[in-house]
Structure 1
Amino acid sequence: SLPIIIYTDKTFLSGKIIGGQEAMPHSHPYIAYLWINTTEKTKKCGSFLVHEDFVLTAAHCWRRSITVILGAHNIDEQEMTQQVILIRKAIPHPYFKRKSLNYIMVLQLEKKAKLTAEVSLLKLPSGHSQVAPGMVCTLAGWGLIGQNISTTKLHEVQLEIQKDKECLSRFKRPYDSTTQICVGNPKEKKNVSGPWESGDSGSPLMSKNVAQGIVSYGKMEGTPPNIYTRISSFLCWIKTTMKLFKLQGQY
C-alpha cells in the first residue's frame, strides 16, 4: 500500500481550476475523469489517455476502486460519447513518497478504449522536450472553479511556466527542477489549487497537444505558482511499465 502523507506547511495536493472557462465540448478528447470510491466518500481526479488501455494520473489518486470515464464533457449526464471502464491495475511510481513526491501513476484499463472523435490519445513528450519559463500551457479538468463552487462540465485554463526560483522560494518542501515544473504566474489570478479530492489532481498540463506535466500540489489559498510533475523525466518508466503490464494482461 502507499504511504500516508501528512502536510504541516499548508501545502496541499492540487485540485481546483481558478480563473478559467468552460471548455468547448470534447475539445480535449484525451481527458479522462476518475471516479474514486473510498471508505469515507467518493472522490475524483483527472487523468489522460496515452494508450488504448492505459491512462496517466497522479500517484496520490490511488485507491482500490477506480472507474475511468472517457469521452465526457458533462460528467453528470450519460452522454452517448462516454465510455465507462474499470481499472485492472494501478501502478504508482515506485519512489512515490513524501520526500521525493514523484506524483505519477499508470492505470491499466480492464479493456481497450474505443478511439473516436471524442476519445483519443494525448501524446507524451519526447525525451529532449522541455518547457521553458514564459511558455503558456493549457490545463483542463472538472475540479472546483471557485470557493466551494463545483462544476460538472470540463473547464480549462491557460497557465504560464515560471522560473524554478519562484517555486524554490515558495515551498518549504524540496523542489527538483529535473522532475518538476513550476507553473502559474503569481501576478495572475489563474491557477489550480486546493485539496486533491476537489478534482484536478492528475490532469495534464499541455502544450501543442503534448502532455508536459501532471497536476501535483500547491498552496491551499490558491495563489500561484504550483508544482507539476515533469512527464519527460519519467518517459522510460512509463513506457516500460505499459509494456510490462500489457504483456501480462492480453485481452
Structure 2
Amino acid sequence: MHPLLLLLALLLPVGKIIGGHEAKPHSRPYMAFVQFLDKDNKKDSKKRCGGVLVHKDFVLTAAHCWGRKAKLTAAVKTLPLPRGKARVRPGQVCSVAGWGRISMDTLATTLQEVSLEVQTDWECRSIFRDYYIGATHICVGDPKKMKTGFKGDSGGPLVCNNMVQGIFSYGKNDGTPPGVFMKVSHFLPWIKRTIKHL
C-alpha cells in the first residue's frame, strides 16, 4: 500500500453537502470516496470521507480519514495543486463535492456537489473563535444561504479555477454555513516534499 497524504483537521469530523445537487457521472474524476471502520466507536461503525487525488499515489484528505492507491483511468484523474501565487479571495465562488449526509438521517448514495462563496476570515473567526486560524484556514459558504458541507464530506476538496485550494475540515454542528477548509497553499511546501520523498 502506498502512503496516504493527510492534512490535520482541528475539530470534530463533519461534512455533508447541503443545498447541492447530484454531480454528473465522471464530472469530478479526482474525487476519492474513503470509507473506514471506526474502531473508537463502541459499535465499530463505518465512517466515510471524501478526498482528492493530487498524484497517482496520493489522496489529500482530512487527518481522520483513510485511503488507498488509485488506478488512473479516463474516469479517474488527478486535480492540480495550487500554482505560484494562486489564492482564493472573499467573494470568489468555488465548489465542493462529497458523499456525506443529504439530511440528518440519510447518507448520499451518489456524489453531491455545491457551489460556495469564499467568506472573510472575520466571518469564521466570529463563529469558531480560537479554532479558526486565518493563516491555515479558508472560510467558505454564505451564512444567508443553506449551502455547505457536513457529516461525511470531511476531506473533500474546495475546487477553485480547476485547482484544489482547500480540504473540508469542520463546520457548525447544526449544518449551517459557513464551513472551514484547510488552506492547501499553506501546506504546499510540505505536500511537495512528501510526494517527492515517497
By the TM > 0.5 criterion, same fold?
A: yes
Runs of 4+ in 1 over 6 A off after TM superposition: none
- 208, 222, 226: which one aligns with 2:161: 208
Q: Residue 221 of structure 1 aligns to which amino acid in structure 2? A: D
**TM-score of the two chains, using structure 1 as the length reference:** 0.70
Give yes or no for the alignment of 1:46 onto 2:50: yes
Q: Does the Cα contact within 8 Å between 1:127 and 1:232 map onto a contact in 2? A: no
Partners of 1:206 and 1:223 in 2: CA distance: 20
Q: Could you list the runs of 5+ residues in structure 2 that have no partner in the other structure? A: 1-9
Give runs of aligned pairs for residues 188-199 of structure 1, distance below 5 A: 188-193=145-150, 198-199=151-152
Q: Residue 58 of structure 1 aligns to which amino acid in structure 2? A: A
Aligned to 2:140: 183
Give runs of aligned pairs for residues 40-189 of structure 1, distance below 5 A: 40-61=44-65, 66=66, 68=67, 87=68, 109=69, 113-189=70-146
Q: Does the Cα contact within 8 Å between 2:15 and 2:171 map onto a contact in 1? A: no
Tell me which moved more, 172-181 or 206-215. Answer: 172-181
Q: Does the Cα contact within 8 Å between 2:15 and 2:153 map onto a contact in 1? A: yes
Aligned to 2:21: 21
Q: Residue 113 of structure 2 aligns to which amino acid in structure 1? A: E
Identity of aligned residues (%): 52
Q: Residue 49 of structure 1 aligns to which amino acid in structure 2? A: L
Instruction: Give the Å deviation of 1:60.
Output: 2.2
Aligned to 1:238: 191
Partners of 1:16 and 1:32 in 2: CA distance: 15
Instruction: Give the Å deviation of 1:14.
Output: 2.2
Q: Could you list the runs of 5+ residues in structure 1 that have no partner in the other structure? A: 1-6, 69-86, 88-108, 246-251
Instruction: Give the Å deviation of 1:12.
Output: 4.0
Partners of 1:176 and 1:161 in 2: CA distance: 15
Aligned to 2:170: 217
Q: Does the Cα contact within 8 Å between 1:14 and 1:216 map onto a contact in 2? A: yes
Q: Deviations over 1:180-234 (max 9, x none)?
A: 10100001010112xxxx3210000001211010000111111111111000111
Larger Rg: 1
